[in-house]
Amino acid sequence: MSVALDGLRRRIRELEGRPPAARSTDRCGWPPLDAAGGLPRPGLVAITGPWGAGGTRILLTLAAACTARGERVVWVEPTGDDGWPLHPPTARDWGVALSHLLLVRVSGAQGAWAVEQAAASGACGLVVWSGGITAGVGARLVRAAWRGHGTIVLHSERPVPDVRAEVSMQVQAGRVRLHRRRGGLAQAVGVPAGPEAVSWR
C-alpha cells in the first residue's frame, strides 16, 4: 500500500511541476529516537500524555537539534488554558537558538491552520503544535509537511483519531513509549534529561 501511495505522490508532484520530495530522517539529539531512525522528514510526529509528564522536554530537544542545524522552528500554541505555554528562556537553556525560533500564539481552531501554513511554507525544518487539536485535520497536516519538506510535531493530552503519525510517543510520568509506524519498532524509554534548572518539565 505504501509503495502505491509513494507512486501516487510522485505523480502528483510531476503534474504540479514540483521536484520529487525525498523522504529522509534527521538526527534529533535524543539517542532513543535517533536509534529508532531519527526524525522523519517530511513527516508527522505525535506526542500524547498529560501536561507536565515530559512531552515538553522532547519538544525542546527536537527544537534545539533543529536550530543547531541552522533551521527555523515555528512553535504554535493556544492562548487559553489548553497546553503548556513555552517559556523562551527555558527553551534557550535547553539549547534552542532563539534567533531561529518563531513563537505563534493563536486561539482555538486557528491552531491547525497556523501549523498547516507554517509547514507548507518550506521556510522551517520543524513546526510544533502544543495544545489540543480537532479531529479531521490529519490529512491536511501530512500534505503540508510534504509540501514544505519539514516535520510537524503535535503535542496533546489525547490522541487525535485521524492523525497517522510516522512516529508516536505516549508520555506518562517521565517515561515514553516510542513507536515507529514503518517497521513497527516500539520501545519504552525515559524522557530526555535537561538542565537542572528546568528539570521539573
pLDDT per position as a tens digit, 126-160: 999 987 777 778 888 888 998 998 999 998 888 77
- Examine residue 161 and state whether it is found in any structural domain, yes or no: yes
Please determine, for residue 69, whether its predicted confidence score (pLDDT) is greater than 50.
Answer: yes
Residue 98 to residue 101: CA distance in whole angstroms: 5
Please determine, for residue 49, whether its predicted confidence score (pLDDT) is greater than 80.
Answer: yes
Q: Which residue has the cell 513555552?
A: 86
Q: What is the pLDDT of residue 110?
A: 84
The more confidently predicted of residues 71 and 190 is 71
- Examine residue 120 and state whether it is found in any structural domain, yes or no: yes
- Examine residue 111 and state whether it is found in any structural domain, yes or no: yes
Question: What proportion of the chain, given as a percentage, has pLDDT over 70?
Answer: 74
- Examine residue 8 and state whether it is found in any structural domain, yes or no: no
How confident is residue 190, by pLDDT bands cut at 50, 70 and 90? low
For the chain, the 3-state helix, strand and coil shares in percent, each to the nearest 5, are 35, 25, 40
What Å distances lie between residue 178 and 2, 112, 147, CA to CA? 21, 24, 26
- Examine residue 198 and state whether it is found in any structural domain, yes or no: no
Please determine, for residue 117, whether its predicted confidence score (pLDDT) is greater than 60.
Answer: yes
CATH number, domain of 128, equals 3.40.50.300
- Examine residue 10 and state whether it is found in any structural domain, yes or no: no
Q: What domain count does the chain have?
A: 1
Q: Average pLDDT of the chain? A: 80
- Examine residue 81 and state whether it is found in any structural domain, yes or no: yes
Q: Which residue has the cell 542545524?
A: 69
Question: What proportion of the chain, given as a percentage, has pLDDT over 90?
Answer: 30
Rounded to an integer, the average pLDDT of 9-35 is 66
DSSP state of 96: -
Rounded to an integer, the average pLDDT of 97-123 is 90
One-letter identity of residue 144: A
pLDDT per position as a tens digit, 74-93: 999 887 665 568 889 999 99
- Examine residue 6 and state whether it is found in any structural domain, yes or no: no
HSE-CB at 186 with a 13 A cutoff on CA atoms is: 4
Which residues span the domain enclosing 65?
24-193
